[in-house]
Amino acid sequence: MSNNTAPVGMNNLGNMLSNGASQRLLRSSWRGVSNFVAGLAILFVIWWVGIYMISSNPSTEHFADFGPIPAFKAIPMLWEEGTIQSAITSSGYRLGSGLLIAICIGVPIGILMGRSKRFRELSNSPFQLLRMISPLSWEPIAVIVFATWNQAIIFLIAIASVWPVAFATAAGLAKVDPAWFKVARNLGAKPWHIVTRIIVPAITFDVLTGIRLALGVAWIVLVPAEFLGVSSGLGYSIQDAREGLSYDHLMAWVLIIGAIGYVLDSTCVLLIKRFSWHRGDQ
Amino acid sequence: MSDEVAPLKVGESRPYRVLKSSGRGLSNFFGGLAILFVLWWIGGYFISVNPSTEHFASFGPIPTLKAFPELWSAGTIQSAVMASGYRLGLGLLISVIIGVPIGILMGRSKRFREISNSPFQLLRMISPLSWMPLAVIVFATWNQSIVFLIAIASVWPVAFATAAGLAKIDPAWFKVAKNLGATPIHMMTKIILPAISFDVFTGIRLALGVAWIVLVPAEFLGVTSGLGYSIEDARETLSYHHLTAIVLVIGALGYLLDSTCVLLIKHFSWHRGDAA
């Protein structure tokens, strides 16, 4: 499929189309799509073969429900019941609120860390200690402090994701050339202008990188946080499928979680690329 | 320092500067932690003076620090750290053994990298704890399923960091080595491994962060040992000072493990020019 093996006629056609670039773009995106589909197909074949071999053994026959075919049959069923939509809505609300709080707290802390050496040096040890407290160990405290489980889950997501956002913001500010601040001040910029005209555009890329990391962590925290207390969301659905011994639903949920996570992560990657101004590097 | 020809000023100031900067580092370290504890103490004080939240007074720093000798002499901390450390270590070891070869394959073979991208991204974004019901069925003991959860959570950072490390290697090195008659084994031990050890440790540091998040909820259920169990146990017996003490132990241990990784990463760094 590489350029060398492409038929000569195709190449001529490409040249005839005045710019081969559009054709190359088309071919590379086609290549991307085919790799995407083929990779997933291989995964599903391996999954199918594995479960087929396990379930053909009489002693482990009951594992047949874990296969890809029951899982794919379960997805339309769950969709029609509205279970998928409601789980996504409630988990999405918790994830979104948690991340929003993390950004609202994390970005100012990160800016403070990046701009004030004194604050950065003093805050390092407490922040590292707090960062390495496994988020789920806050759960008993969160449950006591907050009135509802919903709030406790949002708190857990926020406290898990505030650190990547804050540290990425600080790292972004550290890369800003100090001369820019001097130039801005010489041109009469007020502190407000420095924030809106220099700091925010310069660190957007790093903040988004931090949000991507935060999303990865929040995604890990979300599921166990929803195992307890609530009766909605993706984590609850997993637990529910497990207790109902409906393994086809279980595998369907695992797939749904993976697919949504993939979409969210890819969205972050696209946003990061869009706001990148480090064109020279990398 | 043995250099006597060097100007006296430099000879004197360098160790002094190192001493001063490490003194400054230490004072910042303790100053920062002291501020955290003071804030915690003030918060605890306000909780204890309000009659409606009086019974939560043991969340404060003083009951917590008093709980440490209790828990230590009861052996709770030691046994929890041992049990969790065993699971964490085994899980990370498995993820390094699986993740590094996958990463090398991704870095060396374009075909494999392109095809594996979509399934690996999908698997990576499956929240590790959603494997738990499955792991409990597949594995005979809870211990094994916790190790599995930690391994499956931490294999991706290791694999992707290894692949990124290989991508940075100058392809000319392979050509030079081939021309000098290097066998694939030489290629592996003399070029690939030294070049990527920095990135592998970066990946292990990320993996450790993820594994540390997964460890606690994984230990909430099924097992009767480990840090997660101790948290859950303290919560169920309403001994809040034990709860906060274990939370502090988790934070301190995590800090220690993370700092060890940072030191290892610095030690194996060969990108001195890049100021990485």
Structure confidence by residue, pLDDT tens digits, A42-53: 999 999 888 888
A69 has pLDDT over 80: yes
Residue A9: per-residue pLDDT: 42
Shortest CA distance from B234: residue in chain A: A140
Give the residue among B72, B218, B102, B237 at the shortest CA–CA distance from B163: B102
Assess contact for A102 and A95: CB atoms under 8 A.
no
Residue A130: per-residue pLDDT: 93
Residue B219: per-residue pLDDT: 92
Model pTM above 0.90:
no
What tokens appear for A264 in the block? Answer: 């969210």
In b/e form, how buried is each residue of B113-140, taking b as 16+ CB within 10 angstroms?
bbbbebbbbbbbbbbbbbbbbbbbeeee
- Rounded Cα gap, residues A102 and A201, in angstroms: 20
Give the residue among B43, B91, B89, B93 at the shortest CA–CA distance from B64: B43
A6 has pLDDT over 70: no
Residue B15: per-residue pLDDT: 59
State the nearest Cα–Cα gap between B5 and chain A, in angstroms.
Answer: 36
Residue A2: per-residue pLDDT: 39
Residue A22: per-residue pLDDT: 64
Q: Where are the alpha helices (DSSP H) in chain B?
A: 8-49, 61-73, 76-108, 110-124, 132-138, 142-167, 171-179, 184-186, 193-220, 227-236, 240-268
Query: Binning pLDDT at 50, 70 and 90, where does residue B275 land?
Result: very low
Residues of A in contact with B47 (CB under 8 A): none
Diameter of chain B measured on Cα atoms: 80
A5 has pLDDT over 80: no
Structure confidence by residue, pLDDT tens digits, B178-219: 888 888 888 888 888 888 888 899 999 999 999 999 999 999
- Rounded Cα gap, residues A135 and A158, in angstroms: 9
Residue B198: per-residue pLDDT: 87
Query: Binning pLDDT at 50, 70 and 90, where does residue A21 land?
Result: low
- Rounded Cα gap, residues B119 and A258, in angstroms: 10
Residue A115: per-residue pLDDT: 85
- Rounded Cα gap, residues B227 and B254, in angstroms: 12
Residue B13: per-residue pLDDT: 56
B95 has pLDDT over 90: yes
Shortest CA distance from B249: residue in chain A: A133
Query: Binning pLDDT at 50, 70 and 90, where does residue A65 land?
Result: confident
Query: Binning pLDDT at 50, 70 and 90, where does residue A102 land?
Result: very high
Residue B274: per-residue pLDDT: 47
A190 has pLDDT over 50: yes
Q: Is B239 exposed, middle or buried (0-12, 13-18, 19+ CB in 10 A)?
A: middle
Q: Where are the alpha helices (DSSP H) in chain A?
A: 8-16, 20-56, 68-81, 83-115, 117-131, 139-145, 149-174, 178-186, 191-193, 200-227, 234-243, 247-274
Cβ-defined contact of A227 to B153 (cutoff 8 Å): no
A14 has pLDDT over 70: no
Name which of B113, B118, B219, B253 to mutate to probe chain A: the one with the most chain A Cβ atoms within 10 A of its Cβ: B118
B257 has pLDDT over 60: yes
State the nearest Cα–Cα gap between A188 and chain B, in angstroms.
Answer: 33
Shortest CA distance from B275: residue in chain A: A175
Residue B253: per-residue pLDDT: 93
Residue A282: per-residue pLDDT: 40
Residue A257: per-residue pLDDT: 93
* Mean pLDDT to the nearest integer, A229-244: 89
Residue B97: per-residue pLDDT: 95
Residues of A in contact with B36 (CB under 8 A): 125-126, 129-130
Residue A279: per-residue pLDDT: 53
Shortest CA distance from A39: residue in chain B: B115
Query: Binning pLDDT at 50, 70 and 90, where does residue B271 land?
Result: low
Residue A23: per-residue pLDDT: 67
Query: Binning pLDDT at 50, 70 and 90, where does residue A215 land?
Result: very high
* Mean pLDDT to the nearest integer, A111-134: 91
Cβ-defined contact of B213 to A125 (cutoff 8 Å): no
Whole-number percent of chain B with pLDDT over 70: 90
Structure confidence by residue, pLDDT tens digits, A164-176: 999 999 998 888 8
On whether ipTM exceeds 0.90, the answer is no
Neighbouring CB atoms inside 10 A of A171's CB total 16
* Mean pLDDT to the nearest integer, B169-182: 86
Cβ-defined contact of A254 to B28 (cutoff 8 Å): no
What tokens appear for A37 in the block? Answer: 């589909």
The pLDDT mean for chain A works out to 85
- Rounded Cα gap, residues B206 and B257, in angstroms: 11
Query: Binning pLDDT at 50, 70 and 90, where does residue A104 land?
Result: very high
Assess contact for B213 and A134: CB atoms under 8 A.
yes
Residue B18: per-residue pLDDT: 61
Query: Which range is most confident: A3-12, B55-64, B73-82?
Result: B73-82
Residues of A in contact with B118 (CB under 8 A): 35-37, 39-40, 43
Cβ-defined contact of B129 to A39 (cutoff 8 Å): no
Name which of A28, A137, A234 to mutate to probe chain B: the one with the most chain B Cβ atoms within 10 A of its Cβ: A137
Shortest CA distance from A125: residue in chain B: B29
- Rounded Cα gap, residues B249 and A33, in angstroms: 48
Residue B7: per-residue pLDDT: 44
Residue B272: per-residue pLDDT: 52
Structure-model confidence comparison of residues B20 and B85, the more confident one: B85
B96 has pLDDT over 90: yes
Residue B17: per-residue pLDDT: 62
- Rounded Cα gap, residues A218 and A95, in angstroms: 7
Residues of B in contact with A39 (CB under 8 A): 114-120
The CA-based angle B170-B175-B178, given to 5 degrees, is 135
